[in-house]
Structure 1
Amino acid sequence: MKQVMGNVIVGQSGGPTAVINSSLAGVFKTAKDRGAKKVYGMLHGIQGLLEERVVDLSEHIRSDLDIDLLKRTPSSFLGSCRYKLPPIKGNTEVYDKIFEILEKLEVEYFFYIGGNDSMDTIMKLSDYAILTSSKIRFMGVPKTIDNDLPITDHTPGFGSAAKYIASITKEIIRDGLVYDQQNVTLVEIMGRNAGWLTGAAALAKGEDCEGPDMLFLPEITFDVDEFMHKVAELHKTKKSVVVAISEGVKVADGRYVCELTDNVDFVDAFGHRQLTGTSRFLAQKISKEVGCKTRAIEFNSLQRCASHIVGRVDITEAYQVGGAAVKAAFEGETGKMVILKRVSDDPYLCVTDIYDVHKVANIEKKVPREWINESGDYVTEDFINYVRPLIQAELTPMMVDGLPRHLRLQDVMLRK
């Protein structure tokens, strides 16, 4: 006989990934299988919860087909937010309101799918539950294409983004050889402080492709003059030069390269500046000083929403961490985040575990210096060996009228 559990609520926060909804599917399906009375979804994360914007997911995910569609749907099915909870001390009003809403919904289990900032939310809510003797259990479900959460071997979402980046970089390299004309292409890739995504461009290298000529990660201070010299030298011997560069590379004085030309005014609730324009700035400088055709390509949000090229390993692990979070919470855990532990590289095998969210929240995992070459313009084989298993296999989209089919909430449900 199925054990009847209390109500569950789940939300999504921060930048989405191509597989974030697979984690949502894992939470929903596992909670229902374990006897949850209701599984609620927060519309636009904790910010939406404060406005009592909540849906009963059973009314929107009605079948196994819906589960399969949800897994293949990019972006955040429930909507997202970038809302920073204040410190608990002296700011209990917002926490009192959150717990009042959760108690009204008779929620016993709270799951939040997100990255560093989302784990900050889980940490604060679980701490407040202890202070107020609340029995609600709080669990973090990891996701981020940036792969910058500590402790876990990697984060769901990174593998598919890496697969997209390597694939498109390979195609860009091929395209650069079309005309009998020298050219330089700069590919700007997401990564504020960690260069995992930019490093993944090196996976384009293989028997049929020489890979990008240089990679620049934010872990290494960027020297504009040295960069220009390297490009000029490559330009002397190559028809086409392709360089991948992180949006977050900084010069010696701490400024982002994109700030050398444009004002970056937008700052989110967590103090993150919007970064864009690094490749455009450098492309214009190369065109002027080297005197050749240049092209700046920003992958931008494409690298986090390309569900048509999602990795099977990634989407499977995303589902597993969602299910593992539910299992842990139902067994009494709280204030934890699910992590992935790599057992072996060949054959590749990862298992799930849980870890204290206090040792995860607000901590960034960067690419180890020893995984970047001595000159700071490429990654090593150790980096390649770490990432390659994460991009393996594919999950075919469900195609309707020649296009991928996605699952979506009705528009009326997204309004307050």
Structure 2
Amino acid sequence: MKRNVIVGQSGGPTAAINSSLAGVYRTAKDRGAKKVYGMLHGIQGLLQERYIDLSEHITNELDAELLKRTPAAYLGSCRYKLPEIHEDMGVYEKIFEILNKLDIEAFIYIGGNDSMDTIKKLSDYAIITGQTVRFIGCPKTIDNDLALTDHTPGYGSAAKYIGTSVKEIICDSFCLEYNKGLVTIIEIMGRNAGWLTGAAALAKGEDSTGPDLIYLPELAFDLEKFIAKIRKLLEKKSSVVVAVSEGIRIPDGKYVCELGNSVDFVDAFGHKQLSGTAAYLANFVAGEIGCKTRAIELSTLQRSASHSASRIDILEAFQVGGAAVKAADEGDTGKMVVLERISDDPYQSTTAVKDVHKIANDEKLVPRDWVTKDGTYVTDEFVTYVKPLIQGDVSPVMVDGIPRHLYKPGFQEKL
């Protein structure tokens, strides 16, 4: 690698996103890149010429190890939708003017579906205009919904946190007795894909019954059948725990969370902000049955709990970061690194690169045969798929009893 590399982070963070950043930085330096720049707040920040030289912040191996264990996007993230090339050539001209000024050879973007749309458009523009910058996508999303990859870095750690938290909530729910029972509704992230919510099944084991019901957004949600299930369960047990995706919808396509309030905020990619599904269902159950209910929204804890990260996830995130640089150095562009599973037992995976045009703006959903016939739980095949991804732990670097992260004095102000 004879010139410079620039890397950015986009979309919702994960507990493993900075491990990919560390992989990009280490591999780029090992392959001879003169400088590795970091975009501050992704492509949106780059358009404002906001970037840093990462060598000023990752100065030794301890910094790199701390970075792997640091939650949230170290460089700052964004949700910025590039216009179509024919709609606004000026945006692209400005981006490439900045890239050329920085003598960029490879542009690495760590993100999910919408981020791959950015890689697709930039690589297309480069080809059309004869630019030599190479563009590679580095997968990242707790949603696990990117096409052509077995799974995405970030998902394993989120699944580990969800399985652990649901198990702990189940233990807590049996502490007290209530005359008419207790129903706990746990809301888990997932707009259209139920990979995260399905991970609640990991709570089931020799020492835990696991959640009683799991509802994914891939199937229509029937309120009447739901309340009937709850009534029947309360006849047998004093505590019922239900895991639901934030994106479950009733048969007419309306989000359940919209039944309780309006969803006003829509991001640059047209995604509605979903919240309140558990609260609505808890109130609905309380009103219909008269029992005590609790609504628990895991929210951003699912993606920021680096203290509960999966070792497999952190290692694979670092691996795909390095593979992205390697692909660019060897001449690839308009591609995304993917993870391919070789075996489950023992678990083994490898990396490859795929055409980003076949990935951007697509969504990988949970297969129908990985959900029970009545749509209220996931099957053993789902658990077999996810269990290898949550294995191992990554010990935080503890200082005064609290994990230490890689945030240098003054760096957050720069962001």
Q: Same fold (TM over 0.5)?
A: yes
Q: Could you say which residue in structure 2 is the equivalent of 1:146? A: 143
Instruction: Give the SS at the match of 2:354.
Output: strand
1:89 aligns with one of 60, 72, 86: 86
Deviation at 1:232, TM superposition (A): 1.1
Q: Could you say which residue in structure 1 is the equivalent of 2:220? A: 221
Alignment of 1:62-141 (within 5 A): 62-141=59-138
Question: Equivalents in 2 of 1:19, 1:56: separation in Å?
Answer: 21
Length-normalised TM-score, structure 2 = 0.98
Amino acid at match of 2:227: M
Map Cα deviations across residues 17-41 of structure 1 (whole Å, 9 max, x no partner): 0010000000000000111000000
Alignment of 1:3-82 (within 5 A): 5-82=2-79
Q: Could you say which residue in structure 1 is the equivalent of 2:207? A: 208
Question: Equivalents in 2 of 1:410, 1:363: separation in Å?
Answer: 40
* Cα-Cα RMSD: 0.9
Amino acid at match of 1:281: Y
Are residues 124 and 410 of structure 1, via their aligned partners in 2, closer, same or farther at CA, if it must alter by over 3 Å?
farther
Q: Could you say which residue in structure 1 is the equivalent of 2:335? A: 336
Deviation at 1:334, TM superposition (A): 0.6
Q: Could you say which residue in structure 1 is the equivalent of 2:196? A: 197
Deviation at 1:90, TM superposition (A): 3.2
Are residues 56 and 413 of structure 1, via their aligned partners in 2, closer, same or farther at CA, if it must alter by over 3 Å?
farther
Are residues 186 and 383 of structure 1, via their aligned partners in 2, closer, same or farther at CA, if it must alter by over 3 Å?
same
Map Cα deviations across residues 253-304 of structure 1 (whole Å, 9 max, x no partner): 1110000110110100000010000000010111111111100000000000
1:191 and 1:198 in contact (8 A); partners too: yes
Alignment of 1:262 onto 2:258: no
Aligned length: 413
Unaligned runs of 5+ in 1: none
Are residues 413 and 205 of structure 1, via their aligned partners in 2, closer, same or farther at CA, if it must alter by over 3 Å?
closer
Q: Could you say which residue in structure 1 is the equivalent of 2:153? A: 156
1:77 and 1:409 in contact (8 A); partners too: no
Question: Equivalents in 1 of 2:87, 2:241: separation in Å?
Answer: 52
Question: Equivalents in 1 of 2:411, 2:20: separation in Å?
Answer: 24
Deviation at 1:224, TM superposition (A): 0.9
Length-normalised TM-score, structure 1 = 0.98
Instruction: Give the SS at the match of 1:387.
Output: helix
Map Cα deviations across residues 221-265 of structure 1 (whole Å, 9 max, x no partner): 001111111111111111110000000000111110000110110
Q: Could you say which residue in structure 1 is the equivalent of 2:303? A: 304
Unaligned runs of 5+ in 2: none
Deviation at 1:59, TM superposition (A): 0.3
Instruction: Give the SS at the match of 2:218.
Output: coil
Amino acid at match of 1:188: E
Q: Could you say which residue in structure 1 is the equivalent of 2:273? A: 274
Deviation at 1:412, TM superposition (A): 5.3
Question: Equivalents in 2 of 1:358, 1:106: separation in Å?
Answer: 26
Alignment of 1:313 onto 2:309: no
1:43 and 1:414 in contact (8 A); partners too: no
Deviation at 1:333, TM superposition (A): 0.6
Instruction: Give the SS at the match of 1:237.
Output: coil
Alignment of 1:284-303 (within 5 A): 284-303=283-302
Q: Could you say which residue in structure 1 is the equivalent of 2:398? A: 399
1:187 and 1:242 in contact (8 A); partners too: yes
Map Cα deviations across residues 346-393 of structure 1 (whole Å, 9 max, x no partner): 100000000000000010000000000000000000000000000001
Question: Equivalents in 2 of 1:216, 1:98: separation in Å?
Answer: 43
Q: Could you say which residue in structure 2 is the equivalent of 1:346? A: 345
Deviation at 1:414, TM superposition (A): 4.6
1:248 and 1:257 in contact (8 A); partners too: yes
- Following TM superposition, the consecutive aligned residue runs of length 4 or more in structure 1 with deviations greater than 6 angstroms are none
Question: Equivalents in 1 of 2:359, 2:30: separation in Å?
Answer: 29
Instruction: Give the SS at the match of 2:235.
Output: helix
Instruction: Give the SS at the match of 2:32.
Output: coil
Instruction: Give the SS at the match of 2:70.
Output: coil
Matched-pair identity in %: 65
Amino acid at match of 1:319: F
Question: Equivalents in 1 of 2:413, 2:99: separation in Å?
Answer: 20
Question: Equivalents in 2 of 1:114, 1:411: separation in Å?
Answer: 26
Question: Equivalents in 2 of 1:277, 1:63: separation in Å?
Answer: 44
Are residues 290 and 381 of structure 1, via their aligned partners in 2, closer, same or farther at CA, if it must alter by over 3 Å?
same
Are residues 139 and 414 of structure 1, via their aligned partners in 2, closer, same or farther at CA, if it must alter by over 3 Å?
farther
Instruction: Give the SS at the match of 2:270.
Output: coil
Amino acid at match of 1:76: A
Amino acid at match of 1:314: D
